[in-house]
Structure 1
Amino acid sequence: MYQFGRWVSKHRVLVMVIAIILAIPSIFGLGYTRTNYDILAYLPDDAESVQGLKVMDQAFGSTGIGMLVFENVPDKEIDKVVEKIKQVDGVGSVLWLRDLVDNVIPVEMLPDDLAEMVYRGEDTLIVINLEGSTAEDRTLAAVNSIEQIVDESKHEYKFSGLSPVISDMIDVANSEKGLYILLAVVLSTIVLAFALKSVFIPVIFLIGIGFGILYNMGTNYFLGEISYITKAIAAVLQLGVTMDFSIFLFHRYEEERESYDHIEAMARAIKYTATSVSAAALTTVASFLALISMKLTLGQDIGIVMAKGVLLGVICTLTILPSLILIFDPLIHRFQHKTILPEFDKFSDMITKKPIIMVLIGLMLVIPAVYGQIHTEVYYKVDRGLPQDMKSIVALNEMKDVYDMQATHLVAINENVSESDTKEMINRIKKVPGVNWIIGYEDIVGPMLPKEMLPEEAKEVFFNGGYERVFINSSYAVATDEVAKQMKEIRDIMREYDKDAYMTGEASLTNDLISISDIDFKNVNILSVLIVLVIIAISFKSISLPIILVGVIELAISCNMGIPAYTGTVICFISSIVIGCVQLGSTVDYAILLTSRFKEELATTEDKKEAMRIALSSTAKSIVTSALSFFGATVGVAMISRIDIISSLTGMMARGALISMAMILCILPSVLLICEPLIRKTTFKWCEN
């Protein structure tokens, strides 16, 4: 690695030229990487609701539903708008009562159940079947076209559904995404400017890390698409995680500069940095890759992108950053000032004086932390984490009030099931608690119009691809125990008539999401811990150290996860699954840094308290700087994002960095001191360099 370091140092200009050339295709890759805004699209293919979704797609060409409600508009005027909507590319069909029942028949003469489905006070309901997946470009373009058509009609309306909600969410995300990285850069720069002696070095760090972020985001093009969650957090998370490596390299370079010229000093700094950060980088990568084990493929999305980001960050730290430091070395050393971070000598004396006190404090935190983590509530409903003033969310809430429309189930049964059996099935489903109304051929059209006389366009709404489609409106909210019980009852009834019948829709998809997420939470956390334990065990050649280091960080994670239970905050389910891996992976290097220095000092002194005092005072400033930088990179996003999934996740990351920092500076040294005799017996060559 030393020869590699000398080559980079001597050819620093060439390295920067190559870096800039590689940035060009990365910019194009960044621009052409598609973003997926539909979380439910990440459900596994073997989920029952997803299988139902595929059947609906194949049979009817669509599963997306848009609910359009006109306010105080005559049916004849609605007819004109409906005809225009039917021509929109991406609209499969429009379910409008007056396509089946002529306008000459007044509302008062319609069956009460039928009239109540469509007419409520001054409101009139139309159901629009959207082709393609919920967040597909064509579907979202159709949503925009529908809104434009209705806007041009000058009629008052409400339009909602998953696709309209996602369309509005994209507008919100696009308005904020530039601010995420801007705030991360500004806050990280402020932290580094105060924590480091050079005013100019923070800029160098951010440029070096910026290349890594650009390469990472650009190479996402080869993944086809990434989720909006990944897109929102990847850059700031990569900035926070890889900042540690940059700080370590620069500190080592400054140390070597005292004895060698700048070329030799940087070559040695690259050598020692590569050796020192390899274990930390490996554990971080492994923690992120543990997310790949999730059945919810959103974990694969986040895991691959972040693991790739850390690897690219390490490469840039060993190539681009050294080149930048050498090129701008005169400026770096010209503009210097005193750091505001104190020396940690007195703090180190206090922590190492009576280690048993800090260990007892740590033990006292275990019960409330674990209790809080167990009792932290999570939500799964997509619209709950979105700004409630979004047009589609306002419309959705008003529809819930007027039509008692909480969820819509889509049922597909075999077309060969007899009309009488289907009618009987529908009547039984109507009696299931929470079912408001059902739209099916036998229930609406059957009594009024024989199937043979049904217009082809209207027939395709109900019959296609060998299946009959039935719409069921529920008064129970998505992601509740009530709707789960209701869906089970409906499913049991329909399978008495057709054992291969399918049910899907937002409530069904979310129900599968809940079941899968519960499994993912357990599996991901267990796997990430096991992987990190193995890596630390191999790195330190120890049995006890991995348990101690991971145990302290897991306590920090439990504290972080438990806080919402005491503040009464309900967090997004994604945060509960991902935060454990992210916090473990992004802060375990603090623990490794402190432990490595403690081991190094024990090789020169038999006084373990003195060894820990030196180790803690020497590494505390780097750990605090890294943690505060990570905090600055993430807290800004948490403060400004109006999308709760993003603000909740980044907020917990920011808080987790501070909690891990406190645990590693206060609890870990005391645990290492007390357990040192055990560590000595269970670690190969513990007191040797």
Structure 2
Amino acid sequence: MERYTQFLLKHKKLIIGVFVLAAVLCAVLSGLVGVNYNFADYLPDDAASTRALEVMDEEYSQSVPNMRVLVYEVSIPQALAYKEKIADVDGVEEVNWLDDAVDIYEPLELAEQKTVEDWYKDGNALFSVTVDEKKQDSVIPAVREIIGEENCMSGTAVTSVLAPVNTSVEVQQIMFLAVPIIFLILILTTNSWFEPVLFMITIGVAILINRGTNLMFGTVSFVTNAAGSVLQLAVSMDYSIFLLHRFSENREEGLPVEKAMIEAVKQSVGSILSSGLTTVTGFLALVLMRFKIGPDMGWVMSKAIVLSLVSVLCFLPALAISTYRLIDKTQHRTFVPKFDKFAGLVMKLRIPALALVILILPVSFLGQMKNDFFYGGSQVYSTQATQMGRDMEAIDKMFGSSNPVVLMVPKGDMEKEIAMNEELKKLDCVTSVVSYVNSVGNAIPSSFLPSETVSRLYSAHYSRFVITMEAEEKDPDWYEKVNDIRNIGEKYYGDKSQYAGDLVSTEDLKTTITQDNAKVNFLAIAFVFCILLVNFKSLSLPVILTLVIESSIWINLGIPYFRGQTLFYIGYLIISTVQLGATIDYAILFSDRYMDFRKTLPKKEAAFMTLRTCTISILTSAAVLTLAGVILGKVSTNGVLSQLGILIGRGAALSFVLVIFVLPTLLILFDGVIRRTTLHCDFFRKEKEMAETGKAADKEE
């Protein structure tokens, strides 16, 4: 490492220039990276709903209805006029309304009232619209212009267009709040006004390079795009803190500037790489998920951490040496008090703290296994803080929850279609069925009908049933309602029936990502364990450290259960690996220092000295990650991002508490086991000291 650091310092201007140029170029390229907000696009290619969508694309020009439009206080002729205007918008494939379900030219009193009220209620009309996904950016504002601001629209087409605008604004707000707060934390925990600037520049350059190089993926998920920069900033800030703290310590010992940096890199590279690699492997575990948001976030965030490591180990040494005079000129008194009294208090409370955690842990473990979840994206933007959320609530309040399911069956057997159509209509959860036999009737041959009417329902090989369900994901029995429709289709057509729609995709999501959970968690733990095994050359320390952080994860995920909160499963799945990878650093740093002190001190004194010297570094890192998570959680109106932020922030705080209050006790209790299961373990022992003292006395004689 000495030659490497000498090379960096010799060519420091070139190194700084390369990183700055790369950051500027990638800042421009980041604007070209697409963002995908559609959960269904991240289903595995072999999922049943994915195959059904492919069949529908091949067989029909229309896809699944993806927007609901509510127009207040209109007569039937006015509603038909609105329907025609909406249908004329370029990119609108189909508009369904009351006239597709009943004969509106007969008195509505004679029609089935339940069906009528699903489309037209108290003079208010609800349209079901199918929008071409490729043209929805122009369709949504066009429809809004037709219906006006006072009316409402909701659905995945609306979300896909408006969510990027909202999220972009929110990401700016999050960074605007997070950066000053993180900067303030760094000022309070360092001795120079300029050191925090170095930290922020170093990680800021890594963030810009990461965002620009995301262009290699073409598009990234909304979760990755919105949370990635905040996570990278919060998670990788440790590395620069570790390096500059060592640099400052070496200079205080009287080393020349360049020698101090060379030694700092040598001293900290092990901890930095171990911390970085555990975080990278935590994110890489997500790559093995079948639900594609996992690989999306896994690759992007693994790359982000690697770039942060490169920036800290290449860019920061060159930058710090070039500006060390500014560090010296901007020195200030220490704002944070010494941690001697705190370390003493922790040592006194260590047994009660361990006992408390042992009592809480089984309850938390069981609680986190019984959480309720949202698996799809229907509830992501249900907050009242946005127009999307307000419109969604207004439509649901007036007409109830509604989700379209498209059922496609092989055409040709009219008797089966009639029987299946009648059985579908009898389901309590079904509010309407738009099909050939229901809309046209079996008495009229398809050859006598306009080709446009036939093509909507009949293709070359399939007959299409557009079923409107009174159900949404927040209903406890939504899964059973989807299965009721599936069972009817399979009763008549077996495995030849095809299903598509938001709830059908959500059903596939539930199956896919619950299968991913155990695999991803196991692999994340295994990866981290292997890195700890190599780093510490110990069989026992990896078990102790992993157990401490996993305990904090169980407590973190058990809290929502006891609060009666429903979690988005994708956030639940991601936090398990992110919290492990991001906060295992605290345990690594603590154990590294403990092992160093243990060479010259008894176990209790070693634990005390570790608390005294490490608490400030761990507190800084945990505070940064906690506040970044809380800001993300409070500012974002995206339900997944908001929950993920809160879980990350709370998880960082819990990991800090367990590392500081529980890990020292475990290291003391298992001191003998650690000594016997660790290679080249040279722990201080009184017998050893006495033997060495005796040898020295013999030599003197």
| TM category, shorter | over 0.9
Calculate the TM-score normalised by the size of structure 1.
0.93
Q: CA deviation at 1:580?
A: 1.3
1:608–1:112 distance in 2 versus 1, CA, 3 Å = closer
Q: CA RMSD in A?
A: 2.5
Deviations 1:81-106 (A, max 9, x none): 44443343322233356589998666
| Percent identity between the two aligned chains | 31
2:259 alignment partner, one of 259, 264, 274: 264
Q: CA deviation at 1:581?
A: 0.7
Provide the residue aligned with 1:91 in structure 2.
92
Moved more, 104-113 or 184-193: 104-113
User: Which SS does the other structure have where 1:593 is aligned?
Assistant: helix
* Residues 1:126 and 2:121 are matched in the alignment: no
1:619–1:447 distance in 2 versus 1, CA, 3 Å = same
Q: CA deviation at 1:355?
A: 4.9
Whichever residue aligns with residue 215 of structure 2, its letter is Y
Does the aligned pair in 1 maintain the 2:16–2:315 contact within 8 Å? yes
1:298 alignment partner, one of 293, 297, 317: 293
Provide the residue aligned with 1:11 in structure 2.
11
1:481–1:635 distance in 2 versus 1, CA, 3 Å = closer
1:516–1:105 distance in 2 versus 1, CA, 3 Å = same
How far apart are the structure 1 equivalents of 2:370 and 2:482? 27
Does the aligned pair in 2 maintain the 1:436–1:474 contact within 8 Å? yes
1:15–1:339 distance in 2 versus 1, CA, 3 Å = same
How far apart are the structure 1 equivalents of 2:100 and 2:561? 52
Provide the residue aligned with 1:455 in structure 2.
450
1:507–1:100 distance in 2 versus 1, CA, 3 Å = closer
Moved more, 283-292 or 6-15: 6-15
Provide the residue aligned with 1:641 in structure 2.
636
Deviations 1:477-514 (A, max 9, x none): 33545232222232222223323111121111112222
1:610–1:103 distance in 2 versus 1, CA, 3 Å = closer
Q: CA deviation at 1:608?
A: 1.8
1:144 alignment partner, one of 136, 141, 144: 141
Whichever residue aligns with residue 313 of structure 2, its letter is L
Q: How many residues align?
A: 680
Does the aligned pair in 2 maintain the 1:100–1:458 contact within 8 Å? no
1:99–1:648 distance in 2 versus 1, CA, 3 Å = closer
How far apart are the structure 2 equivalents of 1:457 and 1:665? 70
How far apart are the structure 1 equivalents of 2:170 and 2:57? 33
Does the aligned pair in 1 maintain the 2:59–2:460 contact within 8 Å? yes
Whichever residue aligns with residue 603 of structure 1, its letter is K
1:393–1:593 distance in 2 versus 1, CA, 3 Å = closer
Whichever residue aligns with residue 176 of structure 1, its letter is E
How far apart are the structure 1 equivalents of 2:620 and 2:627? 10
Deviations 1:638-664 (A, max 9, x none): 222222221211111111111111111
* Residues 1:314 and 2:315 are matched in the alignment: no
1:354–1:609 distance in 2 versus 1, CA, 3 Å = farther
Provide the residue aligned with 2:688 in structure 1.
none
User: Which SS does the other structure have where 1:437 is aligned?
Assistant: strand
1:233–1:462 distance in 2 versus 1, CA, 3 Å = same
Provide the residue aligned with 1:434 in structure 2.
429
Deviations 1:429-450 (A, max 9, x none): 2223322221111012116854
Deviations 1:314-360 (A, max 9, x none): 00001222222222212212122223322122333344467544432
Alignment of 1:262-661 (within 5 A): 262-352=257-347, 355-380=350-375, 382-386=377-381, 387-388=383-384, 390-416=386-412, 418-446=413-441, 450-478=445-473, 480-499=475-494, 500-605=496-601, 607-661=602-656
Q: CA deviation at 1:426?
A: 0.6
Does the aligned pair in 2 maintain the 1:100–1:445 contact within 8 Å? no
Moved more, 482-491 or 659-668: 482-491
Q: CA deviation at 1:675?
A: 0.1
User: Which SS does the other structure have where 2:13 is aligned?
Assistant: helix
Provide the residue aligned with 1:686 in structure 2.
681
How far apart are the structure 2 equivalents of 1:482 and 1:351? 48
Does the aligned pair in 2 maintain the 1:351–1:670 contact within 8 Å? no
1:118–1:441 distance in 2 versus 1, CA, 3 Å = farther
Q: CA deviation at 1:391?
A: 3.6
Q: CA deviation at 1:530?
A: 1.4
Deviations 1:288-312 (A, max 9, x none): 1111121211111111111111100
Moved more, 556-565 or 67-76: 67-76
* Residues 1:166 and 2:160 are matched in the alignment: yes
Q: CA deviation at 1:217?
A: 0.9
1:115–1:371 distance in 2 versus 1, CA, 3 Å = closer
1:628–1:112 distance in 2 versus 1, CA, 3 Å = closer
1:363–1:102 distance in 2 versus 1, CA, 3 Å = closer
Whichever residue aligns with residue 35 of structure 2, its letter is T
User: Which SS does the other structure have where 1:471 is aligned?
Assistant: strand
Provide the residue aligned with 1:676 in structure 2.
671
Deviations 1:223-264 (A, max 9, x none): 111111111111111111111111111011112223322122
Whichever residue aligns with residue 508 of structure 1, its letter is V
How far apart are the structure 2 equivalents of 1:671 and 1:312? 34
User: Which SS does the other structure have where 2:193 is aligned?
Assistant: coil
How far apart are the structure 2 equivalents of 1:478 and 1:330? 59
Deviations 1:443-482 (A, max 9, x none): 1211685422322222222122422211112223335452
Does the aligned pair in 1 maintain the 2:265–2:313 contact within 8 Å? yes
How far apart are the structure 1 equivalents of 2:347 and 2:389? 55
Calculate the TM-score normalised by the size of structure 2.
0.91
1:157–1:458 distance in 2 versus 1, CA, 3 Å = farther
Does the aligned pair in 1 maintain the 2:386–2:637 contact within 8 Å? no
User: Which SS does the other structure have where 1:293 is aligned?
Assistant: coil
User: Which SS does the other structure have where 1:146 is aligned?
Assistant: helix
Gaps of 5+ in 2: 685-701
Q: CA deviation at 1:59?
A: 1.7
Q: CA deviation at 1:5?
A: 0.8
Deviations 1:373-421 (A, max 9, x none): 23433333534332235444434334334444432211111122x2222
User: Which SS does the other structure have where 2:333 is aligned?
Assistant: coil
Provide the residue aligned with 2:2 in structure 1.
2
Does the aligned pair in 2 maintain the 1:184–1:634 contact within 8 Å? no
How far apart are the structure 2 equivalents of 1:489 and 1:369? 35
User: Which SS does the other structure have where 1:269 is aligned?
Assistant: helix
* Residues 1:225 and 2:219 are matched in the alignment: yes
1:451–1:558 distance in 2 versus 1, CA, 3 Å = same
User: Which SS does the other structure have where 1:63 is aligned?
Assistant: coil
1:393–1:248 distance in 2 versus 1, CA, 3 Å = closer
Q: CA deviation at 1:30?
A: 0.7
Whichever residue aligns with residue 126 of structure 1, its letter is F
